[in-house]
Amino acid sequence: MNDTVDYNIPLAYERIKETTEEMQFNMASDLYTGSLLKTLVASKTSGRLLELGTGTGLATAWIVAGMDEKSSLVTIENNEILIEVAKKNINDKRVEFVLADGYEWIKSYAGEKFDFIFADAMPGKYDLFEETINMLNVGGFYIIDDMLPQPNWPAGHDRKVQAFIEQLENRTDLTITKMNWSTGIVMAVKK
């Protein structure tokens, strides 16, 4: 076996990828992460899903590809230009695109909990983590990528990453697996 992801790539992903490259947006999730997200989402029938950091919608396209008819996704992004690319290419009534500051959105969220959270922005990952984990149902997935050194990391980010991983390892309410694969994934499930 090899781990290539060259099958069943969502059409929306292909369309968005082209625009993303033209825009030179360099924070995009990779194919491996996308494929994993799709697979995990497929385990959540009638799932309530949350993505923090839509970007141009590359990971969104994979999440949508894993959803059943009764699942729904809320995806949050504070950059209007980026989220417009996602909205234009993913026209799906199960998806709510929210143009908002993730910090404000998380702090004010009072709705039902989620079964799956892909936390791909500072809020929900390095910041407001407790609030974000509180939004997750028991048995729900909390997924993060970019935990291995990336070319776009600012100085000192490695220490932040290490401290966050240690924080995750010490949580008694989460079971986690660290994967030295893709851009570095941590998969957590709420106990």
CB 64 within 8 A of CB 37: no
The token pair at 107 is 């702090």
What's the min distance (Å) between Cβ of 89 and ligand SAM?
A: 12
Rounded Cα–Cα distance for residues 157 and 172 (Å)? 25
| Closest distance of CB 100 from ligand SAM, Å | 7
Q: How far apart are CA 191 and CA 113, in angstroms?
A: 14
State the DSSP H helix or E strand holding residue 163, giving kind and residue range, or none if neither. Answer: helix 157-169
Token couple for 178 = 């660290």
Cβ closer to ligand SAM: 59 or 90? 59
Residue 10 Cβ vs ligand SAM, minimum distance, rounded to whole Å: 12
Query: Nearest-5° angle of CA 41, CA 43, CA 45?
Result: 90
Nearer to ligand SAM, 79 or 137 (CB): 79
Provide, rounded to whole angstroms, the least separation between the CB of residue 59 and ligand SAM. Answer: 3
Instruction: Provide, rounded to whole angstroms, the least separation between the CB of residue 172 and ligand SAM.
Output: 28
Q: Which is nearer to ligand SAM, 72 or 79 (CB)?
A: 79
- By beta-carbon proximity to ligand SAM, the closer residue of 115 and 120 is 120
Q: Which is nearer to ligand SAM, 56 or 132 (CB)?
A: 56
Quote the Cα angle for 180-185-190, to 5°: 125
Binding site for ligand SAM (CB under 6 A): 27-29, 53, 55-56, 58-59, 76-79, 82, 101-103, 120-123
What single-letter DSSP state applies at residue 153? P
CA-CA distance, 164 to 85, in Å (whole number)? Answer: 31
